[in-house]
């Protein structure tokens, strides 16, 4: 437990020293979303129809870009290999890194999302659904993404390889979440969607930390 | 404490070592020698559990993990010397007192750099932050891969003294260096390559 | 049983056993495929609705079925590799991925070709199609990860982790995609209602399915054999075997 | 001139050794595009309307992710600093790197685009316009992106910072190119758009290599 | 060839050197000394044109760029030793014969590793690939920042010989090292720090 908290506080400290790591994915999120009115059409009817999909795809992509940073700098300066010598279980270190990743990426995205929803003319009930869906599903993204990040750390392949590994895994989250937002926009009841997203989160929590710590160990030993 | 039996490692079709067996007890120091590319780093990484593509057996009888210093500096550029050292030691030792951290930094001649972020340090200073762990650790086995690289002459002397103390106090030392080594304790030597 | 398992797991004995098996599976595959193809493409009755274009079924359906089970087989090999550290299993994963990817690709392409006459378009975002596409991406991920890692030992383990995470996700993906399709159905096409097929149609289909499996195993074994030769090229027995050819 | 060719051939050799660097952006492109039907709607009517925007945004993003790789590995292993000691002008080295980036990213994207257009139900005249727009505008992306890549190399910020720097520059390209594809889909004449895209390319060719070589020098001296 | 006047460099409020002036002609060697963090690397990077935040003047009278070897290995992991060396030298020299490249690799004891990619080399071997340029270059000024780190004893001896030849043939040498240096030619020394 102490290992977990220690890791989280260290990672947050690094992020505080270098706030760009937190701000950049957010800015990226905003920019990608604002490309769509430019590339497709500025009219409200069109935009509200595509809004859930666009916002969610943008959220996926900005998470994706940040996965790379999850382990890379620790790998490069050798701190990752030091972590395997910790007195606490290694999986707690990994969980700490996943939690701090979510605090730095998923959480701000969720908090920012209503604003972007408004930019795309999403009505208020839709905004609530949007934020809830992000709060509930971005932890799953961080968990699944950590596996990809762990597998590719040290491969100098940029974010693209991680993207290929984890995007297929994100498909269910995307489908459920956008359906939830659409239901919300139409004023429907989306408790069922939330339960399903919760179930996905539970599955990911069960599997990912184990898989990631195995993955990181493998990446270190080569 | 350490028992190695029939260790064989082959990388890229090149046999680095074959059927290597040795054992090392408390208060013993082993220096791994050999020219560049003979497999010294690979051997130490195997012993540290960081490389697994080998055959043979490695047995440690240890309560805690060994302390490993590798080619990489092992410090985060964005954190200060104190923060780095605190985190690195806390990870392994559980908890470290701030005073102890300051004292360790002073030992490696980084007084005045406690709150400088490691990214704005010179090569040698960054390495020193990592090596300051030698003054904090309770690990009984040390695995040091070229700890002296980038360190200046007086720094090397201080490190040698610390290693000496460690071995005399019953610690185990595994060391690679291409430089001259002046330890008072007995140092066994293992030569790799032809 | 265990004895046998371990014996087969040694690359050398696998190489020898598979060497004896290979001609048989090869011949069986060719026989089944030729019979099925001739029967299905030339003699089976045309579909009462779609006419002759439905004959692509004999290529498409087996490919789609095999595409799914090949991932499961690969996952089986991954479990074996993670649990017993059997080198052969790693080789099996490595060799299954490209075949599985090609079969999945074949299922997609034949499906698309079939879609043109029946649906009037090459591609529809239908549940089955989409999950097949996602599966192709999973195969590609496996291949991409393998090719990105230089060290064979760690590549094997990394790929197994990925394959296993993927296999947990396959039912989730399938489920969610099915559910998604029913949510906002866009077109009236559906493949789920299977026309009750006469014997003269499903028999050649069954033969084709079996033929695809036999073909898959044959190619898989051939790839495994050549990979064994590459990996064990330093050992005496490989050098003797090569010299003996 | 020799410096230019030498650099291109070296970079292509590295890419050939590691084809994943070329294939991965393509796969990413395909995956991102296939997220949209999942997130928005699978129906042909909706998709053909958003197709030009979606394909172009995906192309922008996969270029973006690959900019990072343009100089990073050369920076990390120290070859970039060696390049400044070359006997030929440094700007030729930079141009070589830009050209090889385009060959490895923009060109394959353009060649692959008709397939993806088909998946989003774009009719044949639109497909031609799509491919032409990519062929004409991706060099501009490589040129502009190189400036961002040069400025951020050595900052360990992942792709996000580059994205933020160059995305605003990409806006004109995006608007022109999607307008061109839309005109194409409707069967109109898009020579005017092509001229404009050509003009952007000419401007970028004039400015970018200079700016990039200055940027790289700055990044090195810190 | 090199004229330095009133060079002052301040990093992070720390004065590294102030009003440093010296000049160095053909056939002269200068060793920059000082403990860790005194500014040796910074000085050499300034002279190489890689760091620009200084005051004072640096004048080179040279036809071509100097040859610079820094802390980083300077080789691409994905390319083989031959490819790396060919590219590195061709960049500076225009064109190099394949035979010369092979010969240079043999000089740094990498015979048999010509076609091994540098990613699967040991630390010292990677450094040797970079240092093989010393056997190919026509540059008359060499700037070497800790060239001996990670190099084994016999490798250092060979490099020292090469440097000696270079200086005796009228070259200019700027060198940092924390290790002992045995050059037959005269070596001036510049001490940084207190
Ligand atoms: C790219 C397009 C297509 C893809 C990716 C695709 C994929 C699949 C998959 C995954 C299966 C499941 C095999 C199994 O679970 O047993 C399947 C079966 C089948 N497909 Fe397709 N398909 C495509 C197009 C078509 C078209 C256009 C038709 C005909 C109208 C069609 C007719 C069938 C039939 C009849 C089956 C067998 C049904 C069964 O055994 O349950 N498919 N296809
Ligand atoms: N990237 C940087 N940013 C800010 N300050 C730096 C940076 N690198 C070094 N410094 C400062 O400059 C001083 C000199 O660093 P330099 O690398 O020149 O030392 P050095 O003499 O080469 O040391 P070493 O023997 O350890 O290599 C250091 O004490 C440090 O305070
Ligand atoms: N990442 C790698 N991948 C494949 N082979 C490698 C890798 N690293 C090293 N090798 C091989 O293993 C051999 C031993 O490398 P190792 O790093 O153990 O040498 P070393 O004795 O530590 O050398 P040095 O004194 O240069 O540090 C090398 O000759 C090289 O052929
Ligand atoms: Mg070593
Ligand atoms: Mg230095």
Q: What is the pLDDT, as a whole number, of residue A10?
A: 86
Ligand 1 centroid to C111 CA: how many Å? 7
Give the DSSP per-residue string, E28-39. Answer: -EEEEE-STTSS
CB contact under 8 Å between A77 and B67, yes or no, is no
CB contact under 8 Å between E76 and D79, yes or no, is yes
> What are the tens digits of pLDDT across the range C50-93?
777 778 888 898 998 899 899 999 999 999 998 888 888 999 99
The residues near E174 (Cβ < 8 Å, ≥ 6 apart) are E24, E29, E30, E32, E44, E47, E141, E142, E143, E144
Verify whether ligand 3 is closer than 6 Å to residue B39 (CB atom).
yes
C-chain residues near D41 (CB < 8 A): 184, 186
Q: CB of A147 within 8 A of CB of D9? A: no
User: Which residues constitute the domain of residue B39?
Assistant: 1-66+141-194
Q: What is the pLDDT, as a whole number, of residue A117?
A: 93
DSSP-derived secondary structure letter, B65: P
> What are the tens digits of pLDDT across the range B11-63?
877 899 999 999 999 999 999 999 999 999 999 999 998 888 888 999 999 88
Among C121, C130, C140, beta carbon nearest to D27: C140
Residue ranges of B 91-120 with Cβ closer than 8 A to chain A: 91-94, 117
Co-location of E91 and E57 in the same domain: no
Higher pLDDT, D189 or C178: D189
D-chain residues near E117 (CB < 8 A): 17
Q: Which of C127-141, D97-111, D185-199, E162-176 has the lowest mean pLDDT?
A: C127-141
Upper half-sphere CA count for residue B161 (Cβ side, 13 Å): 9
Verify whether ligand 1 is closer than 6 Å to residue C62 (CB atom).
no
E-chain residues near B123 (CB < 8 A): 36, 41, 71, 146
Q: How far does the CA of residue B116 sit from the closest CA of chain A (Å)?
A: 12
> What are the tens digits of pLDDT across the range D46-71?
888 889 999 999 999 888 878 877 88
Verify whether ligand 3 is closer than 6 Å to residue B11 (CB atom).
yes
Q: CB of E27 within 8 A of CB of E186? A: no
Tell whether A179 lies on the interface with D, counting CB pairs under 8 A: no
Lookup: tokens for A101? 């990743």
Higher pLDDT, A9 or D205: D205
Q: CA-CA distance, E126 to E120, in Å (whole number)?
A: 9
Q: What angle do CA D69, D181, D159 make, to 5 degrees?
A: 20
Mean pLDDT of B163-177: 95
Q: What is the pLDDT, as a whole number, of residue A45?
A: 83
Which of B11, B33, B36, B71 has the highest number of chain E CBs within 10 A, making it the mutation to test binding with E?
B36
Q: How far does the CA of residue D184 sit from the closest CA of chain A (Å)?
A: 14
Q: What is the pLDDT, as a whole number, of residue C7?
A: 66
Among A171, A179, A222, beta carbon nearest to C173: A171
Q: Would residue C15 count as lying in a domain?
A: no
CB contact under 8 Å between E124 and B37, yes or no, is yes
Lookup: tokens for A131? 């934020």
Q: Which residue of B has its CA nearest to A217?
A: B50
Residue B51, domain CATH = 3.40.50.300
Count of domains observed in chain E? 2
Q: CA-CA distance, A161 to B104, in Å (whole number)?
A: 41
Nearest-CA residue for atom 4 of ligand 3: E120
Among A165, A207, A211, beta carbon nearest to C141: A165
DSSP-derived secondary structure letter, C43: I
> What are the tens digits of pLDDT across the range A110-164?
999 999 999 998 999 999 999 999 999 999 999 999 999 999 887 766 567 888 8
Verify whether ligand 1 is closer than 6 Å to residue C136 (CB atom).
no
Co-location of E179 and E87 in the same domain: no
Q: Which of A18-32, A94-108, D176-190 has the lowest mean pLDDT?
A: A18-32
Ligand closest to B118 (CA) is 2
Dihedrals phi, psi of E153, to nearest 5 degrees: -60, -45
pLDDT of B194 strictly over 90:
no
Q: CB of E10 within 8 A of CB of E25? A: no
Q: CB of D39 within 8 A of CB of A56? A: yes
Co-location of E103 and E163 in the same domain: no
Highest averaged pLDDT of the listed ranges A60-64, C188-192, E38-42: E38-42
Percent of chain D with pLDDT over 90: 41
pLDDT band at C191 (very low <50, low <70, confident <90, very high): very low
> What are the tens digits of pLDDT across the range A76-96?
888 888 888 877 788 999 999
Tell whether D42 lies on the interface with C, counting CB pairs under 8 A: yes
> CA nearest B65: which of B132, B139, B146?
B139
Q: CA-CA distance, A37 to A39, in Å (whole number)?
A: 6
Q: What is the pLDDT, as a whole number, of residue C186?
A: 41
CB contact under 8 Å between B79 and A84, yes or no, is no
Q: CA-CA distance, D154 to E50, in Å (whole number)?
A: 14
Co-location of B12 and B40 in the same domain: yes
> What are the tens digits of pLDDT across the range E109-121?
999 999 998 888 9
Among C161, C168, C169, beta carbon nearest to A215: C161
pLDDT of B146 strictly over 60:
yes
Q: What is the pLDDT, as a whole number, of residue C188?
A: 40
User: Which residues constitute the domain of residue C128?
Assistant: 21-182+206-244
Q: CA-CA distance, C210 to C212, in Å (whole number)?
A: 5
Residue C136: in which H helix or E strand, if any? Answer: helix C127-148
Dihedrals phi, psi of C21, to nearest 5 degrees: -75, -35
Q: What is the pLDDT, as a whole number, of residue D15?
A: 83
Lookup: tokens for E30? 């200068």
Q: What is the pLDDT, as a whole number, of residue C218?
A: 94
Q: Would residue C13 count as lying in a domain?
A: no
pLDDT of C159 strictly over 50:
yes
Co-location of B177 and B120 in the same domain: no
Best probe residue, ligand 1, of C64, C107, C137 (max atoms within 8 Å of C-beta)? C64
Count of domains observed in chain A? 1
Count of domains observed in chain C? 1
Query: Which residues does residue B145 pair with via DSSP β-bridges, in sequence order?
Result: B176
Q: What is the pLDDT, as a whole number, of residue E82?
A: 93
Q: What is the pLDDT, as a whole number, of residue E134?
A: 94
Q: CA-CA distance, C164 to C157, in Å (whole number)?
A: 11
pLDDT band at C200 (very low <50, low <70, confident <90, very high): confident
Q: What is the pLDDT, as a whole number, of residue E87?
A: 83
| Chain B neighbors (3+ CB pairs < 8 Å) | A, C, E
Q: How far does the CA of residue A89 sit from the closest CA of chain D (Å)?
A: 28
Mean pLDDT of E70-95: 83
Q: What is the mean pLDDT of chain A?
A: 88
CB atoms < 10 A from the CB of E95, how many?
Answer: 11
Encode chain D in three state secondary structure. Answer: CHHHHHHHHHHHHHHHHCCHHHHHHHHHHHHHHHHHHHHCCCCHHHHHHHHHHHHHHHHHHHHHHHHHHHHHHHHHCCHHHHHCCCCCCHHHHHHHHHHHHHHHCHHHHHHHHHHHHHHCCCCHHHHHHHHHHHHHHHHHHHHHHHHHHHHHCCCCCHHHHHHHHHHHHHHHHHHHHHHHHHHHHCCCCCHHHHHHHHHHHHHHHHHHHHHHHHHHHHHHCC
Q: How far does the CA of residue B44 sit from the closest CA of chain C (Å)?
A: 18
Among A73, A87, A220, beta carbon nearest to B92: A87
For the entire predicted model, the pTM comes to: 0.83
User: Which residues constitute the domain of residue A159?
Assistant: 2-221
Verify whether ligand 3 is closer than 6 Å to residue E120 (CB atom).
yes
CB contact under 8 Å between E150 and B125, yes or no, is no
Q: Would residue C127 count as lying in a domain?
A: yes
Q: CB of B86 within 8 A of CB of B101? A: yes
The residues near A16 (Cβ < 8 Å, ≥ 6 apart) are none
pLDDT of B161 strictly over 90:
yes
CB atoms < 10 A from the CB of B80, how many?
Answer: 22
Q: What is the pLDDT, as a whole number, of residue B14?
A: 86
Q: What angle do CA A108, A110, A113 make, to 5 degrees?
A: 105
Co-location of B147 and B134 in the same domain: no
CB contact under 8 Å between C130 and D20, yes or no, is no
> What are the tens digits of pLDDT across the range B97-112?
899 999 999 999 999 9
Q: CA-CA distance, D90 to E49, in Å (whole number)?
A: 14
Higher pLDDT, D165 or A57: A57
The residues near C2 (Cβ < 8 Å, ≥ 6 apart) are none
Question: Which of B121, B138, B155 delimits the end of a domain?
Answer: B138
Mean pLDDT of A47-69: 88
Q: What is the pLDDT, as a whole number, of residue C189?
A: 43
Higher pLDDT, C49 or A172: A172
């Amino acid at each position: 437990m102490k290992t977990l908290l220690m890791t989280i506080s260290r990672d947050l400290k690094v992020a505080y020293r270098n706030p760009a790591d937190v701000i950049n994915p957010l800015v990226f999120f905003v920019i990608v979303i604002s490309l769509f009115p430019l590339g497709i059409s500025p009219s409200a009817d069109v935009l509200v129809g595509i809004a859930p999909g666009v916002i969610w795809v943008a959220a996926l992509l900005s998470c994706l870009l940040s996965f790379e940073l999850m382990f890379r700098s620790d790998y490069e300066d050798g701190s990752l290999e030091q972590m395997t010598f910790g007195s606490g279980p290694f999986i707690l270190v990994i969980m700490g890194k996943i939690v701090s990743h979510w605090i730095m990426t998923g959480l701000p995205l969720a908090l920012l999302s209503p604003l972007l929803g408004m930019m795309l003319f999403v009505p208020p009930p839709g905004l609530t659904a949007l934020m809830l869906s992000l709060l509930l599903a971005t932890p799953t993204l961080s968990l699944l993404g950590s596996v990809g990040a762990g597998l590719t750390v040290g491969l100098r392949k940029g974010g693209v390889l991680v993207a290929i590994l984890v995007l297929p895994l994100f498909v269910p989250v995307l489908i459920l979440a956008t359906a939830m937002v659409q239901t919300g926009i139409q004023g429907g009841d989306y408790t069922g969607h939330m339960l399903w997203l919760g179930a996905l989160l539970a599955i990911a929590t069960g599997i990912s930390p184990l898989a990631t710590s195995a993955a990181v160990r493998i990446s270190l030993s080569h | 404490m350490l028992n190695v039996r029939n260790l064989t490692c082959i990388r890229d079709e090149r046999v680095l070592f074959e059927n290597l067996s040795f054992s090392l007890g408390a208060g013993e120091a082993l220096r791994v020698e050999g020219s560049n590319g003979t497999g010294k780093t690979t051997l130490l990484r195997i012993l540290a559990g960081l490389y697994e593509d080998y055959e043979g057996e490695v047995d440690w009888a240890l309560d805690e993990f060994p302390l490993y210093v590798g080619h990489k500096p092992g410090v985060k550029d964005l954190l200060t010397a104190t923060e780095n050292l605190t985190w690195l030691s806390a990870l392994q030792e559980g908890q470290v007192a701030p005073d102890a951290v300051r004292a360790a930094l002073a030992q490696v001649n980084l007084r005045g750099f406690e709150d400088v972020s490691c990214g704005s340090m010179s090569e040698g200073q960054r390495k020193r932050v990592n090596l300051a762990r030698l003054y904090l650790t309770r690990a009984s086995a040390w695995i040091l891969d070229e700890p002296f690289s980038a360190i200046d002459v007086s720094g090397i002397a201080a490190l040698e003294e610390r290693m000496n103390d460690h071995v005399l106090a019953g610690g185990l030392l595994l060391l690679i260096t291409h430089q001259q080594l002046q330890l008072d304790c007995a140092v066994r030597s293992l030569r790799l390559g032809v | 049983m265990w004895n046998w398992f371990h014996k087969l797991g040694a690359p050398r004995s696998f190489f020898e056993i598979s060497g004896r098996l290979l001609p048989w599976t090869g011949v069986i595959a060719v026989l089944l495929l030729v019979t099925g193809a001739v029967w299905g493409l030339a003699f089976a009755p045309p579909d009462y609705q779609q006419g002759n274009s439905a004959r692509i079924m004999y290529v498409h359906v087996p490919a789609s079925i095999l595409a799914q089970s090949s991932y499961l087989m690969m996952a089986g090999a991954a479990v074996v590799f993670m649990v017993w550290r059997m080198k052969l299993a790693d080789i099996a994963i490595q060799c299954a991925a490209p075949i599985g990817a090609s079969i999945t690709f074949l299922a997609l392409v034949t499906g698309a070709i079939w879609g043109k006459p029946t649906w009037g378009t090459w591609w529809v975002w239908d549940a089955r199609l989409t999950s097949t596409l996602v599966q192709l991406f999973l195969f590609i991920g496996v291949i991409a990860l393998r090719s990105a890692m230089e060290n064979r030992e760690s590549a094997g383990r990394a790929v197994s982790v990925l394959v296993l995470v993927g296999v947990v996700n396959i039912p989730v993906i399938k489920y969610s995609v099915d559910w998604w399709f029913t949510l906002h159905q866009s077109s009236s096409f559906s493949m789920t209602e299977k026309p009750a097929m006469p014997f003269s149609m499903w028999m050649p289909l069954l033969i084709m399915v079996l033929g695809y499996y036999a073909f898959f195993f044959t190619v898989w074994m051939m790839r495994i054999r050549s990979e064994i030769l590459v990996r064990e090229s330093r050992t005496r027995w490989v050098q003797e075997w090569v010299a003996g050819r």
